[in-house]
Amino acid sequence: MKLNLKNSLVVLYAFVSVVLTLPMMIPAGIMMLFGYNKLAFRYLNYIGKEYAKLFFFVIHSTVTVIGLENLPASNNICFVSNHQSLMDIPLITGYIPKTVGFIAKKELARIPIMNIWLRALNCVMIDRSNPRATIKTIERSIRHIQKGHAMVIFPEGTRSRGHEMLKFKPGAFKLVSGADSYAVPLTIDNTYKILEDTGTITSTAVTLTIHKAIDVKQLSSDEKAQLHVVIEATVKSGLTTPPVSSR
């Protein structure tokens, strides 16, 4: 990454965040010591959301959220999103007004402090070196959703690093259909311009679109079989048309 003033601000933000996180963990630790785990996790989630929003402020990027009225009152939700950038997780964490968990690499759980944040977000760890473990990861994620802990999946499997979406992998939808709850398509637009497009932190206007929820338990078997096609088209419909290059 090239160094410039904005990148320096991001590095400073990251450093200050780590320094401030330590004392902020003390109240959560006390709550957990006395058995108030749920209260501790709500506190950590609040702090995490505010940090995520602050990050976009620091890099002078605006975030527009469309479709908040489409969020179900229930927390039994599987959010299905495209994946453009490293910035997608802080975007969803900060601007979806629900506690959401992600499927994360198991190595992250070994990092001090990070493991507590992952627990607070109800993240599910995955061992990518063990394909058989994927089934157990899906089963754990399904149980999380059924208990009222919303989860997010990125069916592309990796970052697109650009405007064009990668093909959705049908296997990812085993979580959506297995949870038998709400599926909420999300469209992330322009986060790739913040970093991946140029390799340096760039201010941009980001849009997060929340589409209408699909009540999976009301679908027929045939409709469930085509759910990945329907959601992929819905997510794609939220992307703006990229400008034509003058070159």
Beta-bridged to residue 207, according to DSSP, are 64, 189
Beta-bridged to residue 188, according to DSSP, are 208
Residue 218 inside a domain? The answer is yes
Q: What is the pLDDT of residue 246?
A: 39
Question: For residues 23, 28, 29 and 31, what is the CA-based torsion angle, rounded to 10 degrees?
Answer: 140
Q: What is the pLDDT of residue 2?
A: 46
Per-residue pLDDT of the chain (247 residues; tens, 9 = 90+): 444 555 565 555 555 555 556 677 778 778 888 888 888 878 888 888 888 898 898 888 999 999 999 999 999 999 999 999 989 999 999 999 998 999 887 777 776 666 777 777 778 888 777 777 778 888 999 999 999 999 999 999 889 999 999 999 988 899 999 998 999 999 999 999 998 898 888 899 999 999 999 999 999 999 999 999 999 999 999 998 665 543 3
CATH number at residue 190: 3.40.1130.10
Residue 37 inside a domain? The answer is no
DSSP 84-105: --TTHHHHHHHHSSS-EEEEEE
Checking phi first, is residue 157 left (phi over 0); if not, alpha (psi -120 to 50) or beta? left
Residue 24 inside a domain? The answer is no
Distance CA(168)–CA(243), nearest Å, equals 24
Q: What is the pLDDT of residue 10?
A: 55
Residue 17 inside a domain? The answer is no
Distance CA(130)–CA(153), nearest Å, equals 19
Q: Which residue segment(s) compose the domain that 200 sits in? A: 61-237
Q: Which residue has the tokens 């402020």?
A: 57
- The count of structural domains within the chain is 1
Name residue 126's amino acid: I
Q: What is the pLDDT of residue 247?
A: 38
Q: What is the pLDDT of residue 37?
A: 80
